[in-house]
Chain A
Amino acid sequence: GENVEQHPSTLSVQEGDSAVIKCTYSDSASNYFPWYKQELGKGPQLIIDIRSNVGEKKDQRIAVTLNKTAKHFSLHITETQPEDSAVYFCAVLTGGGNKLTFGTGTQLKVEL
């Protein structure tokens, strides 16, 4: 089955700095790569996603890059704010199916 690794597990940045979270996956047939933000006690919220026909996608302060050859994709958050503090999960849609495999999560803390 699909194996998704996510790094780092915790990330602490100063407000205004950038944060980068990286995920690697194993199934080369995977074609959909979403990122979710989960606040304490709540369900995950989709913040950005990318499909295998593009290499980069940006939405205001958030961007995702995809390297299909190397089988990794990254979340980039610029000009971080305290409200960005949360747990972030990457996920991969298993090739040919509709099931998501989640990464292990990254606890992001944005300090004032």
Chain B
Amino acid sequence: GAVVSQHPSWVICKSGTSVKIECRSLDFQATTMFWYRQFPKQSLMLMATSNEGSKATYEQGVEKDKFLINHASLTLSTLTVTSAHPEDSSFYICSADPGLAGGRLAEQFFGPGTRLTVL
């Protein structure tokens, strides 16, 4: 149980294009989903927190107009990197929190990540 998937697992795009990454909780409903970015040999940095049906909360320094987050249902959140540039190349990881329904507070289950390369 508690499986989180991401799609695609990797993507290469040209500078200036937009890329959408999907995050799905496969066997549970997630009240909250999180998006992280990880550069090589670095830690995970939280980008934003999204709750189903409401606007995402972005961390300081993260451009909300560049990284669009949609949490349309309790099992799906999407991150769209708009007008991507080479500096946006990174490993993007989502996580999902089942909330109290999962029986344990604050436990996050992570997806396998999406490697984005912007040429």
Cross-chain contact of A99 among B49, B93, B112 (Cβ < 8 A)? B49
The residue on A at minimum CB distance from B51 is A98
Interface contact A105-B93, CB-CB below 8 Å = no
Using a Cβ–Cβ cut-off of 8 Å, how many residues does chain B contribute to the interface with A? 22
Interface contact A44-B110, CB-CB below 8 Å = yes
A-B contact count (CB 8 A): 48
Closest Cβ–Cβ distance, residue A9 to chain B (whole Å): 10
* Distance in angstroms between the alpha carbons of A103 and B93 in the assembled complex: 16
* Residue contacts A-B, CB under 8 angstroms, 12 given: A41-B113, A43-B4, A43-B93, A43-B112, A43-B113, A89-B43, A100-B106, A102-B43, A102-B44, A102-B45, A105-B42, A105-B43
Interface contact B43-A100, CB-CB below 8 Å = no
A residues contacting B by CB (< 8 A) are: 32, 34, 36, 41-46, 49, 89, 93, 98-105
Cross-chain contact of A42 among B45, B106, B112 (Cβ < 8 A)? B112
Interface contact B105-A43, CB-CB below 8 Å = no
Closest Cβ–Cβ distance, residue A107 to chain B (whole Å): 8
Residues of B within 8 A of A100 (CB): 34, 46, 106, 108
Which among B6, B110, B111 has the highest number of chain A CB atoms within 10 Å? B110
Closest Cβ–Cβ distance, residue B75 to chain A (whole Å): 17
Cross-chain contact of B44 among A45, A49, A89 (Cβ < 8 A)? A89
